[in-house]
């Protein structure tokens, strides 16, 4: 077939002298691009491994920092127990001091104890464990905190367990 009768030209074969330089150039391009692709994959794998190592190291460092915050609390608990054995009357005073130190440690870590008594019940911040009528309180008011909450908003460690006022019976 010829081009003049409207049919497509016959494809060139690998033996044509005009095709050889083009094929050689294309093979070189494929080889170069394959090498770049492999290097990029290796770089990505190395980056993932490095990020995993750094993340693990950061978690370990943070755990150590938090544990370090609690060591003085444990030291003072040991002292309170020791003093309580020699003078039982001082144990309450020592435990109160250690409790205050623990609260300060939590606050320093970004999780202060929340004061929920007298606030309006909020299911995102509170867990109702009981409800009781109280003529002096508006319905839905927190009457008693059974277990306090620590933290605020998205940084809440746990919600407060509370007793909530109901309407008058």
* Spans of all domains in the chain: 1-109, 112-169
Average pLDDT over residues 70-95: 80
Query: For position 5, what pLDDT does the model report?
Result: 58
Say if residue 76's pLDDT is above 50. Answer: yes
How far apart (Å, rounded) are the C-alpha atoms in residues 166 and 21? 89
Query: For position 79, what pLDDT does the model report?
Result: 81
CATH number of 112-169: 2.30.22.10
Say if residue 4's pLDDT is above 80. Answer: no
The pTM (predicted TM-score) of the whole model is 0.59
How far apart (Å, rounded) are the C-alpha atoms in residues 9 and 11? 6
Query: For position 52, what pLDDT does the model report?
Result: 96
Average model confidence (pLDDT) for the chain? 87
78 versus 57: the higher-pLDDT residue is: 57
Tally Cβ neighbours within 10 Å of residue 162. Answer: 26
Q: Which of 1-5, 21-25, 54-58 has the lowest mean pLDDT?
A: 1-5
Q: How confident is the model at residue 163 (pLDDT cuts 50, 70, 90)?
A: very high
Q: How confident is the model at residue 8 (pLDDT cuts 50, 70, 90)?
A: low
Task: Look at residues 124, 134, 113 and name the one whose alpha carbon lies nearest to residue 164.
Answer: 134
Instruction: From the options 3.90.20.20, 3.40.50.970, 3.40.190.10, 1.10.3720.10, give the CATH code of 1-109.
Output: 3.90.20.20
- Whether residue 101 contacts residue 76, with contact meaning beta carbons closer than 8 Å, is answered with yes
Q: How confident is the model at residue 144 (pLDDT cuts 50, 70, 90)?
A: very high
| Residues 42-67: b if buried by 16+ CB within 10 A, e if exposed | eeeeeeeeeeeeeeeeeeeeeeeeee
Q: How confident is the model at residue 1 (pLDDT cuts 50, 70, 90)?
A: very low
Query: For position 47, what pLDDT does the model report?
Result: 97
Q: Do 112-169 and 1-109 have the same topology in CATH?
A: no
């Amino acid at each position: 077939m010829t081009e003049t009768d409207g049919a497509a030209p016959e494809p060139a074969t690998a033996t044509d002298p005009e095709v050889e330089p083009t094929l050689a150039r294309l093979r070189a391009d494929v080889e170069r691009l394959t090498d770049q692709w492999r290097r990029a994959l290796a770089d990505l794998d190395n980056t993932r491994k490095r990020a995993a190592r750094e993340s693990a190291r950061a978690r370990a460092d943070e755990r150590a920092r938090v544990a370090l915050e609690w060591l003085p609390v444990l030291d003072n608990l040991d002292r309170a127990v020791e003093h309580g054995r020699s003078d039982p009357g001082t144990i309450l005073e020592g435990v109160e001091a250690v409790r205050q130190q623990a609260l300060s440690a939590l606050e320093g870590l970004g999780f202060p104890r929340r004061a929920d008594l007298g606030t309006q019940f909020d299911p995102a911040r509170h867990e109702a464990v009981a409800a009781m009528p109280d003529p002096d309180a508006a319905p839905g008011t927190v009457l008693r905190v059974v277990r306090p909450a620590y933290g605020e908003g998205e940084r809440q460690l746990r919600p407060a367990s509370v007793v909530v006022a109901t309407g008058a019976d």
